Amino acid sequence: MARKFFVGGNWKCNGTLDEVKKIVSILNEAEVPPEDVVEVVVSPPFVFLPLVKSLLRSDFSVAAQNCWVRRGGAFTGEISAEMLINSNIPWVIVGHSERRLLLNESNEFVGDKVAYALLQGLKVIACVGETLEQRESGSTMNVVAAQTKAIADRVSHWENVVLAYEPVWAIGTGKVATPAQAQEVHSELRKWLHDNVGPEVAASVRIIYGGSVNGANCEEQAAQPDVDGFLVGGASLKPEFIDIIKSAT
């Protein structure tokens, strides 16, 4: 089953109004492969989402960087999945390691969020990945499988899920996983999905890599058979994001 290449740009907590407008105009002017070849989704901070959505070219889409775990209400500072749907925001990133580690989001909490967001009609980029300590102790696959299991236990439809494998030690560090390291985890993850969810889901779910992807290393990563695209942090704020999108072909 063909899996369309997916490139997400996670802008994190960055950008002024002027900077955001500039990034959007660079994206809008870029020549990139057509929509049937690559799906591009950028994720600005909440306050810029409506503006970016209104200015961005129609073949690119937008994602929120988080949403609340259930129906909105007395949860100061949170944004609900219903609000995103109400604002025509189609995608949300859930379980980014910065939230898992800095805000103590557990596997179960992330699984609940993924399930609730999907139920409301959002498409979800669900992030998993091990710390350096976990990799060095040989538990990468156990960690990633446990994170994925917490999602699989709560989700029965995977059409609207993209899994992002993001080793924590590679995020924002300049230490990109080697293409072989990324491929190894992606293929193990696909096997895990095959054995624990089903062959159709394993064949169709896009597993994208994130962690210090840039214009210089994307081609080699994109050539790996189980790397279906990227979640890009730092480089998504720069013109080289266009080169990363082009690595789809």
C-beta atoms surrounding 198 within 10 Å: 13
Q: Which residues bind ligand PEP (CB under 6 A)?
A: 10, 166, 171-172, 210-213, 231-235
Q: 132 is written with which tokens?
A: 């350096």
For residue 11, what are the CA distances in angstroms to 7, 20, 201, 236, 242? 13, 9, 29, 7, 15
Ramachandran category for residue 9: left, alpha or beta (phi over 0 → left; psi -120 to 50 → alpha) = beta
**Selected catalytic residue, list 39, 105, 166, 186:** 166
Burial of 229 (0-12, 13-18, 19+ CB in 10 A): buried
Residue closer to ligand PEP (CB basis): 197 or 245: 245
Distance CA 239, CA 244 (A): 9
Q: Is 96 a catalytic residue?
A: yes
Q: List, in sequence order, every beta strand (DSSP E) within the chain.
A: 5-10, 38-43, 60-64, 91-94, 123-128, 161-165, 206-210, 229-232
Q: Is 133 a catalytic residue?
A: no
Residue closer to ligand PEP (CB basis): 40 or 235: 235
The DSSP annotation for 200-245 comes to: HHHHHSEEEEESS--TTTHHHHHTSTT--EEEESGGGGSTHHHHHH
Shortest CB 212 distance to ligand PEP, Å: 4
Phi then psi dihedrals of residue 196, to 5 deg = -110, -20
**Selected catalytic residue, list 96, 105, 130, 186:** 96
Shortest CB 240 distance to ligand PEP, Å: 11
Residue closer to ligand PEP (CB basis): 229 or 233: 233
Residue that the structure tokens 């200015």 belong to: 55
Residue closer to ligand PEP (CB basis): 95 or 111: 95
Shortest CB 36 distance to ligand PEP, Å: 25
Residue closer to ligand PEP (CB basis): 202 or 247: 247
Shortest CB 156 distance to ligand PEP, Å: 27
Distance CA 167, CA 211 (A): 6
Distance CA 24, CA 13 (A): 16
Shortest-Cβ-distance residue relative to ligand PEP: 233
Residue closer to ligand PEP (CB basis): 144 or 171: 171
Among all residues, which ones are annotated catalytic? 96, 166
